[in-house]
Amino acid sequence: MAADPAMAWVGLGANQGDRVATLRAAQQALGGLPQTRTVVRSSLYSSVPVAAGGPDYVNAVVGLETSLSPAALLMRLQEIEDRHGRVRSFRNAPRTLDLDLLMYGDLLLDTPELTLPHPRAHERAFVLVPLAEVAPELAIPGRGMVRDLLACIVGQAVDRLDE
């Protein structure tokens, strides 16, 4: 591992196919990325799709310590999505696997390819509930502490799956 690895948080979601198996495989793949190790994994949760139809999502978050750059990590996430048969049709379309880079350390970034922190992470219960399980005191840069952000959200059902 190179000097100064960063803590990166990845949000996982699937609402097509064998969603639990897909999330498990994606968790494995994330931990197997070069220059990267898994620090913490949340439980799996189910959530009702936001602004879209289709089956419920299965969601989770993973905390990674990585020496990959943000751009390299995003590319790796997209490779893992592609391996799970993701077809990019339209925003919020049902997907076999969605991997979002939620945060990369304290980095603030706004480029066409990558916005950090993820622009909608702070308002999504399916991100905040799993984050609160493993890192309630984590701050989303520019937004506030996970626990406080979650307390502001109403009406988004997110249920922990029995495993």
CB of 162 to ligand ADP, least distance (A): 26
Instruction: Give which of Mg ion, ligand ADP, none residue 91 binds (C-beta under 5 to 8 Å, depending on kind).
Output: ligand ADP
Distance of CA 66 to the CA centre of its chain: 15
Q: Of 50, 66, 82, 83, nearest to 10 (Cα)? A: 66
8, 116, 125, 150: residue in contact with ligand ADP (rule CB under 6 A): 116
Identified catalytic residue from 100, 120, 143, 148: 100
Where in 38-97 is the site for ligand ADP (CB under 6 A)?
Answer: 74, 91-92
Under the criterion CB under 6 A, does residue 110 sit at the interface with ligand ADP?
no
Residue 100 annotated in active site: yes
How many binding residues for ligand ADP (CB under 6 A)? 11
Residue 37 annotated in active site: no
CB of 49 to ligand ADP, least distance (A): 10
What are 77's two structure tokens? 């996430």
Residue 86 annotated in active site: yes
CB of 1 to Mg ion, least distance (A): 27
Kindly state the DSSP code that residue 31 receives in the 8-state scheme: H
What is the distance between the alpha carbons of residues 87 and 76, in angstroms, rounded to a whole number? Answer: 16
What is the distance between the alpha carbons of residues 80 and 12, in angstroms, rounded to a whole number? Answer: 11
CB of 66 closer than 8 Å to CB of 73: yes
Residues in the chain: 163
Instruction: Give which of ligand ADP, Mg ion, none residue 113 binds (C-beta under 5 to 8 Å, depending on kind).
Output: ligand ADP
Where in 83-112 is the site for Mg ion (CB under 5 A)?
Answer: 98, 100
Encoded amino acid at 96, one letter = T
Q: Of 128, 133, 125, nearest to 157 (Cα)? A: 125
What are 51's two structure tokens? 């602004």
Indicate which residues carry an active-site annotation. Answer: 86, 95, 98, 100
**Residues in contact with ligand ADP by the rule CB under 6 A:** 74, 91-92, 98, 100-101, 113-116, 118
